[in-house]
């Protein structure tokens, strides 16, 4: 299944950096303060402050206070923040030529639900996802390829995984490179999960067909919808 369009995101630790985050950092750099950045973007200061704290808890210091001077000081970006913006720009430029994003679909049943997040038993194993309200419901779980993060088994073992991230061991089943973008198929228990990588990331991981790989994605990146074809036949 394919879906038109894409949203460039960077997964760093347990944080997902989006275009809005980069827009915020650039507004801080441009205006010299978080409050002025919030005003220029028409967004809540409190919300943006929380978001900066969330990002810094995973990525490290992104802003620094500057005191004194003709303007009385303010807030500036750290070198790490500038590097993050540049990295995001490279990713966005590489993905600009992508016209379709694959979506992997897995059939299963909701077994546990807590709030909006539940566990769906599928052929690749349990998937934590955004689920319908009713438990024991046949569903289809969709996972966009641009939300899947790949790593070597050794690299994945060193990550600080949380219960919010789904993680599966598999083998690379296909590698398709086009215009600097690499579409990777990962075979998990005989079913394929598709991932979208930049050529740079694929080269770093040195992936080839048959290689073992760990595929992961956040629960909020997986969305389950009622499988009407199955439910109607029950």
Q: Report yes or no on 1 lying in a domain.
A: no
| Residue 70 and residue 124 share a domain | no
| Cβ(152)–Cβ(140) below 8 Å | no
- Give 155-210 pLDDT, tens digit per residue: 654 454 444 589 999 999 999 988 778 899 999 999 999 998 888 788 888 999 99
Decide: helix, strand or coil at residue 146. Answer: helix
Q: What pLDDT score does 179 carry?
A: 72
Number of domains in the chain: 2
CA atoms within a 13 Å half-sphere pointing along the CA-CB vector of 23:
12
| Residue 106 and residue 204 share a domain | yes
- Give 3-30 pLDDT, tens digit per residue: 444 567 888 878 889 889 999 999 999 8
| Residue 160 and residue 89 share a domain | no
Tell me 128's DSSP state: E
Decide: helix, strand or coil at residue 172. Answer: strand
Last residue of a domain, one of 95, 122, 138: 95
- Token couple for 71: 């303007």
| Residue 227 and residue 117 share a domain | yes
Domain limits for position 132: 100-231
151 against 229, higher pLDDT: 151
Tell me: pLDDT of 97 over 50: yes
Q: How many CB atoms lie within 10 A of CB 7?
A: 12
Q: For the whole model, what pTM was predicted? A: 0.59
Last residue of a domain, one of 63, 95, 127: 95
| Residue 16 and residue 37 share a domain | yes
Question: CA–CA separation, 44 vs 56, rounded Å?
Answer: 18
Last residue of a domain, one of 71, 95, 119: 95
| Residue 72 and residue 126 share a domain | no
Q: Report yes or no on 160 lying in a domain.
A: yes
| Residue 109 and residue 82 share a domain | no
- Give 124-152 pLDDT, tens digit per residue: 999 999 998 776 778 999 998 888 989 88
Question: Which neighbouring-strand residues pair with 75?
Answer: 65
- Token couple for 16: 């997902």
| Residue 184 and residue 76 share a domain | no
Question: CA–CA separation, 208 vs 184, rounded Å?
Answer: 9
Decide: helix, strand or coil at residue 95. Answer: helix
Instruction: Report the CATH number at residue 198.
Output: 2.40.50.100
Q: What pLDDT score does 65 carry?
A: 85
- Token couple for 93: 């430029």
| Residue 206 and residue 146 share a domain | yes
Instruction: Report the CATH number at residue 38.
Output: 1.10.10.10
């Amino acid at each position: 299944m394919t879906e038109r369009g894409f949203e460039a995101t960077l997964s760093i630790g347990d944080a997902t950096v989006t275009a809005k985050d980069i827009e915020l950092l650039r507004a801080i750099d441009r205006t010299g303060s978080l409050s002025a950045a919030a005003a220029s973007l028409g967004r809540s200061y409190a919300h943006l402050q929380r978001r900066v704290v969330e990002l810094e808890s995973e990525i490290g210091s992104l802003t620094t206070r500057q005191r004194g001077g003709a303007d009385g000081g303010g807030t500036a970006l750290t070198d790490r923040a500038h590097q993050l913006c540049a990295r995001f720009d490279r990713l966005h430029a590489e993905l600009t030529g992508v016209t379709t994003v694959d979506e992997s679909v897995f059939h299963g049943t909701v077994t546990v639900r807590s709030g909006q997040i539940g566990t769906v038993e599928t052929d690749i194993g349990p998937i934590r996802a955004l689920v319908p309200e009713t438990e024991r419901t046949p569903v289809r779980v969709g996972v966009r390829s641009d939300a899947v993060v790949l790593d070597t088994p050794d690299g994945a073992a060193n990550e600080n995984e949380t219960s919010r991230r789904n993680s599966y061991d598999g083998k690379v089943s296909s590698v398709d490179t086009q215009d600097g973008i690499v579409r990777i198929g990962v075979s998990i228990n005989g079913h394929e999960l598709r991932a979208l990588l930049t050529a740079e990331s694929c080269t770093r991981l040195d992936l080839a067909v048959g290689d073992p790989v760990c595929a992961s994605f956040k629960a909020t990146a997986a969305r389950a919808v009622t499988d009407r074809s199955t439910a109607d036949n029950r």
